[in-house]
């Protein structure tokens, strides 16, 4: 959430910063609401000050007067009652305005970083580097073809269980998924992350805090009888884990890693990647999440990205690192580095992790602070997939495919999977 004070005092600067996202933002109506709210705050403060002075006068009048029903005393009490009524009325106006202001600001995205490339869409993203040698051969199979030939997953029968774009992992497919999850968790915990296993159902406040609500309500699955939603990413419960809290600065940075199932409607993406493991309604992900000192988040962003990269390197999967332009940034992100893994059948790189620095955007929405140098400040939050498990499996199947139809398992994964090759029974 953006700072109300900044919107009130410098709306032009706010509009200019937001416009870097490639859209026109007019916040004049929000600016007027914040000014009105400030005026009411001042009125309430002045009336409370006058009321305190009046209470003191009433006390003095009672102590010096033998008649507690004197005209002077009754007049003072009457005035005091008028103050209380007026303060109560103004506080009710403030309560209504608070909700209006919060609702309006909640729909505004984060400011893009000045260091992010300027651009309107993904075509303006900037490649920073590549790693590994992409597999380029003729007659390569897709991970869907490989998976079906090895009988390690089934999407057709899954429609009987739920609907399209869900998948059931079978035998070695389920074992490979489990091996990847355990491998990723072990690698990250060895690198200083504390493992959490949060609930898969989250409430509306949690989604608001991380930035999924109200903007992306149509992207998530909601339980009709409760204020609960299926979590679209572990980023949501990990943010909410410290909601309305003050974190001891001695604990910073806090680094969490969490495996979680993720659920997304993928609204607006129909017709793209409808088969295979790339774009499912339910998928598994290992999430990295940081709470850190605001002065150290730029360096933390490089570190969380490097931690996600390390998994790709250990699995020997070719990838590239991309700096996301201002027009393609996620709602809560100020700066994002995408990791894109090589998929030979498509002859292109596909996103497997987005590592984002959200600055104080989520912490302000969730009221997560720390006392740093005697000042209460909102912390900076960072998140990144470490990695998306299904897409990692797809990359292993395609990059490890052999002439005989088997798939070579990356050496680092062998102790978890139990063998060097994935073969037909």
Q: Is residue 116 part of a domain?
A: no
Give 191-212 pLDDT, tens digit per residue.
999 999 999 999 999 999 999 9
Quote the pLDDT of residue 69: 66
**Per-position b or e across 348-365, b if 16+ CB within 10 A of its CB:** ebbbbbbbbbbbbbbbbb
Give 395-425 pLDDT, tens digit per residue.
999 999 999 999 999 999 999 999 999 997 6
Query: Is the per-residue pLDDT at 80 higher than 90?
Result: no
Task: Give 226's pLDDT tier (boundaries 50, 70, 90).
Answer: very high
**28 and 156 both lie in a single domain:** no
Give 307-348 pLDDT, tens digit per residue.
999 999 999 999 999 999 999 999 999 999 999 999 999 999
Q: Is residue 20 part of a domain?
A: yes
Average pLDDT over residues 74-82: 82
Give 100-132 pLDDT, tens digit per residue.
999 999 999 999 999 999 999 999 999 999 999
Compute the mean pLDDT over every residue in the chain, rounded to the nearest whole number.
94
Q: Is residue 296 part of a domain?
A: yes
Q: Is residue 117 part of a domain?
A: no
Q: Is residue 110 part of a domain?
A: no
Q: Is residue 113 part of a domain?
A: no
Note whether 28 and 15 are within 8 A (CB).
no
**49 and 156 both lie in a single domain:** no
Residue ranges making up the domain that contains 418: 122-422
- Report DSSP letters for 385-417, one per residue: EEEEHHHHHHHHHHHTB-TTS-EEPPGGGHHHH
Query: Is the per-residue pLDDT at 270 higher than 60?
Result: no
Give 55-75 pLDDT, tens digit per residue.
887 777 666 666 666 677 778
Note whether 341 and 355 are within 8 A (CB).
no
**33 and 168 both lie in a single domain:** no
Strand order, beta sheet including 254-263:
126-131, 319-323, 335-343, 348-357, 380-388, 282-292, 254-263, 194-196
**274 and 418 both lie in a single domain:** yes
Number of structural domains, the chain? 2
Final residue belonging to a domain, choices 60, 75, 105: 105
Final residue belonging to a domain, choices 105, 135, 166: 105
**367 and 304 both lie in a single domain:** yes
Q: What is the pTM of this model?
A: 0.92
Residue 348 main-chain phi, psi, to 5 deg? -160, 170
Quote the pLDDT of residue 152: 96
* β-pairing verdict for 201-202 and 153-154: unpaired
**140 and 60 both lie in a single domain:** no
**137 and 60 both lie in a single domain:** no
**98 and 157 both lie in a single domain:** no
Final residue belonging to a domain, choices 48, 70, 105: 105
Quote the pLDDT of residue 353: 98
**92 and 128 both lie in a single domain:** no
Helix-, strand-, coil-residue percentages of the chain, each rounded to 5: 45, 20, 35
Q: Is residue 114 part of a domain?
A: no
**281 and 387 both lie in a single domain:** yes
Quote the pLDDT of residue 294: 98
Q: How far from the centroid of its chain's Cα atoms is residue 344's Cα?
A: 30
Q: Indicate which CATH number applies to the domain containing 67.
A: 1.10.287
**84 and 163 both lie in a single domain:** no
Q: Is residue 31 part of a domain?
A: yes
**137 and 66 both lie in a single domain:** no
Average pLDDT over residues 73-99: 89
Query: Is the per-residue pLDDT at 268 higher than 80?
Result: no
Q: Indicate which CATH number applies to the domain containing 348.
A: 3.30.930.10
């Amino acid at each position: 959430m953006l700072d109300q004070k900044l919107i009130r005092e410098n709306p032009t600067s706010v509009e200019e910063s937001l416009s870097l996202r490639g859209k026109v933002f007019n916040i004049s109506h929000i600016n007027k609401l914040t000014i009105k709210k400030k005026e009411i705050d001042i009125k309430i403060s002045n009336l409370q000050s006058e009321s305190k002075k009046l209470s003191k006068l009433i006390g003095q009048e009672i102590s010096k007067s033998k008649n507690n029903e004197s005209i002077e005393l009754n007049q003072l009490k009457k005035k005091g009652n008028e103050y209380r009524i007026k303060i109560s009325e103004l506080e009710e106006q403030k309560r209504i305005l608070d909700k209006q202001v919060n609702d309006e600001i909640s729909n505004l995205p984060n400011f893009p970083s000045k260091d992010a490339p300027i651009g309107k869409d993904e075509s303006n993203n900037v490649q920073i580097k590549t790693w590994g040698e992409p597999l380029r051969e003729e007659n390569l199979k897709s991970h869907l073809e490989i998976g079906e030939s090895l009988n390690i997953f089934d999407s057709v029968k899954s429609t009987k269980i739920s609907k399209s774009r869900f998948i059931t992992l079978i035998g070695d497919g389920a074992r490979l998924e489990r091996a990847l999850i355990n491998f990723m968790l072990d690698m990250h915990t060895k690198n200083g992350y504390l493992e959490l296993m949060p609930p898969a159902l989250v409430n509306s406040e949690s989604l608001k805090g991380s930035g999924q609500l109200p903007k992306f309500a149509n992207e998530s699955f909601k339980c009709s009888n409760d204020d609960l939603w299926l979590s679209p990413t572990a980023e949501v419960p990990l943010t909410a884990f410290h909601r309305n809290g003050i974190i001891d600065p001695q604990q910073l940075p806090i680094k969490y890693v969490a495996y979680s199932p993720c659920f997304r409607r993928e609204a607006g993406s129909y017709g793209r990647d409808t088969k295979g493991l790339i774009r499912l309604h339910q998928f598994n992900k290992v999430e990295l999440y940081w709470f850190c000192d605001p002065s150290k988040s730029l360096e933390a962003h490089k570190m969380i990205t490097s931690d996600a990269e390390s998994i790709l390197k250990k699995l020997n999967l070719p990838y590239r690192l991309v700096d996301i332009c201002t027009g393609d940034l996620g709602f809560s992100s100020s700066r994002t580095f995408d990791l894109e893994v090589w998929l030979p059948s498509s002859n292109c790189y596909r996103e497997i992790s987005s590592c984002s620095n959200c600055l104080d955007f989520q912490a302000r929405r969730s009221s997560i602070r720390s006392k740093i140098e005697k000042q209460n400040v909102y912390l900076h939050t960072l998140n990144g997939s470490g990695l998306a498990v299904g897409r990692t499996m797809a990359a292993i199947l395609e990059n490890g495919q052999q002439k005989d139809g088997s798939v070579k398992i990356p050496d680092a994964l062998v102790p978890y999977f139990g063998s060097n090759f994935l073969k037909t029974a």
